[in-house]
Structure 1
Amino acid sequence: MIAANPEPRWFKSSYSGGSGTECVECAYVSHGTSIRDSKYVDGPRIDVQARTWHRFIDSLRHGAQ
């Protein structure tokens, strides 16, 4: 049986610093993407809709206008 709300699978950017002091983690969830500070895993998180996340990533790739 599959759990109704499985834990998100958090990942760090390949561009994250190696010191562990400045990292943001993301997880793809059913409604879009969740974002949190890796130092405070039980702290607040930001949830964004999939369309908003894709626009954000595209702006990073192509430079915000």
Structure 2
Amino acid sequence: MSSGTTELTWFKSSYSGSQGDSCVEVAIAEQAVHVRDSKDLSRPPFAVAREGWVPFVRFVAEGSEE
């Protein structure tokens, strides 16, 4: 994605744990949803195309039930 992640507004995902151990933040941009680990900002965020966001979240949610 051409958009720099420093220009994004990040917020804690509703899928993050309430205990503070799963800190996932997301930022919604025009063409993608960006995802990062707020506890380790040295790791680069990744982006999911907007049309792929719902299938991505569904896949992650289904995988976490195993």
TM-score range normalised by the length of the shorter chain: 0.5 to 0.7
8 Å Cα contact 2:15/2:24 also seen in 1: no
The alignment partner of 1:16 has SS state of: coil
The whole-number CA distance in structure 2 between the counterparts of 1:35 and 1:9 is 11
2:40 aligned residue: 40
The whole-number CA distance in structure 2 between the counterparts of 1:31 and 1:39 is 25
The alignment partner of 2:7 has SS state of: coil
Per the normalisation by structure 1, the TM-score is 0.63
Number of aligned residue pairs: 57
2:22 aligned residue: 22
Gaps of 5+ in 1: none
Cα gap change, 1:55 to 1:17, in 2 (>3 Å): closer
Per the normalisation by structure 2, the TM-score is 0.62
Structure number with bigger Rg: 1
The structure with more helix, counted as a fraction of residues = 2
Gaps of 5+ in 2: none
Identity %: 39
The whole-number CA distance in structure 2 between the counterparts of 1:49 and 1:15 is 19
Superposed CA RMSD in Å reads 2.5
